[in-house]
Structure 1
Amino acid sequence: MSATLQPDNQNRNRTDNIGRCFRVNSDLGIVRYQGPVDGTRGTWLGVEWLTPNRGKHDGSKDGHQYFHCHQTPKTGPHGSFIRPVDRLVFGQTLLQAAKHRYIVDDLKELEDIPLTIDGRRGKIEAVGLDKIAKQQSDLTSLTVLGLDSCRVERVGSDECEVRKTGELLKNVCSLSLANNFLTNWADVEDILGILPNLESLDISANHIFSPITISCTKSFQIDTLRINTMPMLTWSDVVEISKQLQTKRLSFGWSQLDHIPSVPEDWQIEELSLESNLLTDISVLGTLPKLQLLNLRLNPIISLNIKPTMFPSLCTLNLSRTQIDSWSAIDALINISSLRTLSVLDTPLTAGDTRYQIIARLPQITKLDGTVITEKERTEMERYYLVQCACSLDSSEKSLLDQMTERFPRIRELVEKHGMPGVDSGKQENKIKARLAKVTIQVVNGGNDILGTSVVCSETRSIIRTMLVRQLLPVIIKMAKTRVFKVYLCNDCDSGDSRESSWVLLDNDTRTLAFYGIQDGSILRIVKSNLSALFDTRSLILLILTLISIARFEPTPKYKVTATLLPPFEKRSFTYVSEKQIVKELKVEICKKLENHIIDSIVLIHDGSELLDDVVFKNILTDNVVDVQVQLVDADGKHIRVD
């Protein structure tokens, strides 16, 4: 049986808790002070709370400043003094977390796991679980180590444990320590120092505050580094960290970054993800000599100021869900001659049918919004762009070419390539229109009737008949808001009853729409699939085997928890838990069920005593049943009435 996580009660009276992260109930905090407080008895912990709306002061009492809080949220001070009680759960070492996550001491645990599942095409059987369990229990065989949310705070408690950890985990190449209790960069360096083969590191959502101290004597070779959801770090901190680790691929997203002051000339970063920040200007990044991929998704970028000498190596750029609203921003990208892949989904500019314009304006790109641009498509898009430009101009004394050149980019280059619409613009436009089909695209929910019964949304578009089905997928995905669907074509919908019409499934995305007979007035119907139809047998087998290999072999839920709300409610309910499930997970379920009530804390009582968050249900079972009492408390300490 794998070890059970218990509160680190032996550490609550330590004198070196300063700087350590801890959890109490569902709240997180960092100890900033440990010692006496004037006018009181005993030892106190001065805590900076990481949980929003927790804490009432700035670390001072009666004019004496005992500690300072690193954060300065708009909500005000967030420090407080608490006693070092048993409920405080501190962190653990890297080796302790790895053993708890991966080692299965008793293979009898696997007997409770169902080895077969009924599929639409018969039973599916999973085999070899014992071999997988044995392999993962041997820590020296692990190359990928996932310890997210395992309360890791340091590499080891003493030199002996540090040495043993290095011996057992020497083959680890990829390490994820996201959402742990790391508060000091020196602890991260110590972990890296015992993993000689490490290439990928994720320390997102930890609690390391700026400024950080980086060792001048230690250097590492970590190709991929993720430091997401860490707004307490500055851009300079992140750059220095990546330089120390000689990182090639860096992700610093969801961290409220609103400004990039500068980048060092010797920074050799190749891939940079700054997703979901607050950036509006990226021109300073243009000096990076080796930058090949830049992800700026979900930033409030409106315009781009890019000179011909900027971004000399950039091949892939993601501007999806930014605030770009003018063609001048797209035109600026022509200065990046190395650019090949571009994503601009869900921006104000690309809300309509703008694919043809982007392709015509940017001759260097070969993939747009996930779809490859073929030579045939580029030719047709450029010709269509020429005609649209010509048709948008009014009669003037200036020649048509001069007018087009003044208003639109690349016009002379495209005219030399495809010819000038000029006098024959009407014929050219008719020729282009002959290739177009005005169709209605509908989205329906699949049900018993695979074509659905009601249209969720609908829009009319002009589509090139020779377009490949896969080139239409970005539009379909955007409308359906899912990637699980089937597309049907109807050319005989005069009756108004889609169930009586002749529908054709577009089952080959390498075929053209013309192959399926698309024409003016056709209806393309996107049928979103039911959950039960998401996987075929082969996909389901692969999914099950993947989940089994990473899920720590949780047994099928079989233990019943009977919960009684304390008076005056006297409401009873029950749920089922697995033998490894902990109390905190049940509290989360209770919160979801009572989402309409404002609850400050939930207390579970068993045999007259409060259950700590890390208690495992198997340890308190009686005849496979656990009886608990539930006490709901609001922010004022009053019991909550649940109607």
Structure 2
Amino acid sequence: MPSCPPRRPVMSSTTAAAFRLGQRVHAAGDPRRLGTVRYLGPVEGHGGVWVGVDWDDGAGGRHDGSLAGRRYFVAVGECSATFARPTALSGGISLPDALRLRYRVQDFTKEEQDEMYVFSTSQKRVSVEFVGTDKVQEKLNNFNELASASVSYMGVSSIGAPNELNSLVPNLKLLDLTGNLFSQWQTLDGKFVQGFNTLRLLNLEDNHIDSWDEIVKLSYLRSLEQLHLNKNRLKHVKYPSNLSPDGPIDDAAAVPFENLQVLLLGSNDIDDFSSVDSLNLFPSLRDVRLSDNPVADPAKGGAPRFVLVARLGKVGILNGSEISPRERRESEIRYVRLVMGKIESNDQEEIRRLHPRFAELKSFHGIEDEKPTSSISGPQKMASGLISITLKCVGPSMGEKQPLTKKLPATTTVGKLKSLCESFFKLKDIKVKLFVEEEGCPLPQPVEEDTASLMELGIGSGATIVVDEES
């Protein structure tokens, strides 16, 4: 028989018709084992209908979507897929049902009823009090006081019936939906947001969300201040230009995400600068996380921190680290120099498209274009392009060396600077590696393009270069 997850007691009426391709599911009885439906139908040599599932953890499967030489679907990993009977899977439960399961007082002791706790996203314990009566209606009335709730990894897949959520928890301010089944929200419309405008923090981490269009639906939550989207599969971010006329709020003056101050996007698949630039359009955004995205990983062709700081004009906290006034100024100046060193065209429209803040920052910091130097010679020509940088030796084989401050032409390449360092510090048979220290970064950032000049890398006067050795 095809490999499948361990069976658990479930309702026998579950059939393949209950599932659809692309649907998020979990193993019946185990809401923490999450996967995506990739196949529905027969499996050669085995009777009945089967569901092909690609499991998130990449382990615990038996194959890659093929069986006995026949391919049914393509799984992410070589052993991340299984075929399961429909009764071995669950499509999830509604959010109101999950809240009742987690917080309704049932057969608890008096001490347990007196005080229960949920955990906020900052791991602070938030008290939820119940009066401890046996009447169901009185138990449900206690939900009126519920301000913080966590239903993480409970297999939540839908919002529930219209107005049910608002009736159940009308004063909810913090909702943690980490690790549930909200990759697509066919039911996320007026049901969720109409009349439910007390919510200030929504945590949707680890839900396999791959479409920003799904997130835009949340723009109708007018009170939302924090949105946690770490560990999803988002590739792009785009600020909605206006609220959809099909949305629950008929207000031409409504501003999407008007009160959103914190947006956590770490560990996604964002790889374009237009997504970074679009964050400037969120009217109240001050705290952004982009770490562990390709766009923020220099090793994958992404940008170092100073570029992100310069492109994000209003953000005060980036990747959990506060941006000081000094860091912002130095980052913006370095970014302008970087762009000036790399632009090959004088097409202002193209420059504006690729670097929306370039002209503004260039003017704000009073940075002038490089003047032609063909008629200038001698010391005057040399002085016009000199920058002052500090060099610090840290290599274990280099011995104790005092830092040096040198004036060098801005056109000095990284390769040339390495050679100069070998000469300055009398380094023999040591292959040099350079790093630049940046405020706000816990570790110096590598400088690896030997053919790039200091000007092209945005390195200007006052910079500190760390001289290390190749490991």
Q: For 1:229, which of 153, 168, 171 is the aligned residue?
A: 153
- Whole-Å separation in 2 of the counterparts to 1:241 and 1:429: 67
Alpha-carbon displacement from aligned partner over 1:19-72 (angstroms, at most 9, x marks no partner): xxxxxxx97844758xxxxxxxxxxxxxx95268xxxxxxxxxxxxxxxxxx99
Alignment match, 2:230 = 297
- Please tell me the residue identity of whatever aligns with 1:50: G
1:373 aligns with 2:306: no
Distance in 2, matches of 1:265 and 1:215, equals: 25
Paired residues in the alignment total 300
Aligned counterpart, 2:203: 273
C-alpha contact 2:104 2:139 (8 A) present in aligned 1: no
1:344 aligns with 2:290: yes
Q: Deviations over 1:427-459 (max 9, x none)?
A: 99956x6447698899xxxxxxxxxxxxxxx99
Change (3 A) 1:219 1:256: closer
Structure 2 residues not aligned, in runs of 5+: 13-26, 34-50, 54-82, 89-100, 120-127, 242-254, 374-381, 397-430, 447-460
1:407 CA drift (Å)? 3.1
Q: What SS class does the counterpart of residue 383 from structure 1 fall into? A: helix
Alignment partners' CA distance in 2, 1:429 and 1:284: 54
Question: Which residue is equivalent to 2:264?
Answer: 318
Give the aligned residue type for 1:302. K
Q: 1:354 aligns with which of 282, 299, 304?
A: 304
Alpha-carbon distance between aligned partners in 2 of 1:219 and 1:235, rounded to the nearest angstrom: 17
TM value normalised by structure 2:
0.53
- Is the contact made by 1:319 and 1:344 (CA closer than 8 Å) also made in structure 2? yes
Equivalent residues in 2 for 1:101-180 (5 A)? 155-156=105-106, 165-166=109-110, 168-169=111-112, 171-175=114-118
Matched, 1:472 2:432: no
User: 1:247 aligned to 2:172?
Assistant: yes
Rounded Cα–Cα distance in structure 1 between residues aligned with 2:383 and 2:168: 59
Cα pair distance change 1:418/1:391, threshold 3 Å = same
Out of 332, 341, 365, which is 2:278 matched to?
A: 332
Instruction: Give yes or no for contact 1:275–1:295 (8 Å, CA) kept in 2.
Output: yes
Q: Is the 8 A contact 1:291 1:313 kept in 2?
A: yes
**Structure 1 residue identity aligned to 2:194:** E
Q: Which amino acid aligns with 2:152?
A: N
Q: CA deviation at 1:239?
A: 8.9
Cα drift, residue 219 of structure 1: 4.0
The alpha-carbon distance between structure 1 residues 440 and 410, as it changes in their structure 2 partners (threshold 3 A), is farther
**Correspondence 1:187-226 to 2 at 5 A:** 193-194=130-131, 219-226=143-150
Partners in 2 of 1:298 and 1:459 — Cα distance? 37
Q: Quick check: 1:295–1:319 contact (8 Å CA) kept in 2?
A: yes
Q: How high is the TM-score relative to the length of structure 1?
A: 0.40
The Cα offsets for residues 332-389 of structure 1, whole Å up to 9 and x where unpaired, read as 1011121111111111111114211211111111111111111111111101111111
Residue aligning to 1:84: none
Residue pair 2:289, 2:319 contacting (<8 A) in 1 also: yes
- For residues 77 and 372 of structure 1, the distance between their equivalents in structure 2, rounded to whole angstroms, comes to 49
Conserved? CA contact 2:395–2:467, under 8 Å: no
- Counterpart among 156, 175, 193 of residue 264 in structure 1: 193
- Cα deviation for residue 326 of structure 1 reads 0.2
Could you say what secondary structure the match of 2:175 adopts? strand
Partner of 1:390: 340
What is the alpha-carbon distance in structure 2 between the residues aligned to residue 272 and residue 386 of structure 1? Answer: 36
From the superposition, tell whether residues 215 and 363 of structure 1 become closer, same or farther in structure 2 (CA, over 3 Å): same
State the shift of 1:229 in Å. Answer: 1.1
Partner residue in 1 for 2:85? 76
User: Given the superposition, is the C-alpha separation of residues 296 and 438 from structure 1 closer, same or farther in structure 2, using an over 3 Å criterion?
Assistant: farther
**Which residues of structure 1 form unaligned runs of 5+?**
1-25, 34-47, 53-70, 80-150, 177-190, 197-212, 443-457, 480-513, 526-643
Which runs of structure 2 are paired with 1:412-491 in the superposition (5 Å)?
Answer: 412-424=359-371, 434-435=388-389, 462-464=435-437, 467-468=438-439, 471-473=440-442
* Cα distance change on mapping 1:221 and 1:391 into 2, 3 Å: same
Larger Rg: 1
For 2:145 and 2:289, how far apart are their aligned partners in 1? 31
Q: Give distance in 1, aligned partners of 2:468 and 2:105.
A: 64
Deviation at 1:290, TM superposition (A): 1.2
Does structure 1 conserve the Cα–Cα contact (< 8 Å) formed by 2:234 and 2:268? yes
Letter matched to residue 441 of structure 2: L
Q: C-alpha separation between the residues in 1 aligned to 2:138 and 2:281?
A: 37
Indicate how the Cα distance of structure 1 residues 459 and 259 shifts in structure 2: closer, same or farther if over 3 A, else same.
farther
Among residues 404, 423, 439, which one is paired with 2:351 in the alignment?
404
CA distance in 2, matches of 1:222, 1:153: 9
Amino acid across the alignment from 2:284: S
Map of 2:453 onto structure 1 = none
Percent of pairs identical after alignment? Answer: 18
State how far apart, in whole Å, the 2-side matches of 1:370 and 1:305 are. 22
Post-superposition shift, 1:522? 4.0
Task: Give me the whole-angstrom Cα distance separating, in 1, the residues matched to 2:140 and 2:130.
Answer: 14
- The corresponding residue for 1:635 is none
CA shift, 1:416, in A, is: 2.4
Deviation per residue, 1:119-163 (Å, 9 max, x gap) = xxxxxxxxxxxxxxxxxxxxxxxxxxxxxxxx9998456xxxx7x
Instruction: Tell me the distance in 1 between the aligned counterparts of 2:217 and 2:165.
Output: 19
Cα contact 1:170–1:195 (8 A) shared by 2: yes
> Contact 1:286–1:310 at 8 Å: present in 2 too?
yes
Distance between the aligned counterparts of 1:320 and 1:441, measured in 2?
A: 33
Give the conservation status (yes or no) of the 8 Å contact 1:367–1:373.
yes
Cα distance in 1, alignment partners of residues 349 and 103 from structure 2: 67
> Aligned residue for 2:399?
none
Partners of 1:459 and 1:243 in 2: CA distance:
66
Q: 1:440 to 1:370 in 2, by over 3 A?
A: farther
Query: What is the CA–CA distance in structure 2 between the aligned matches of 1:323 and 1:370, rounded to whole Å?
Result: 19
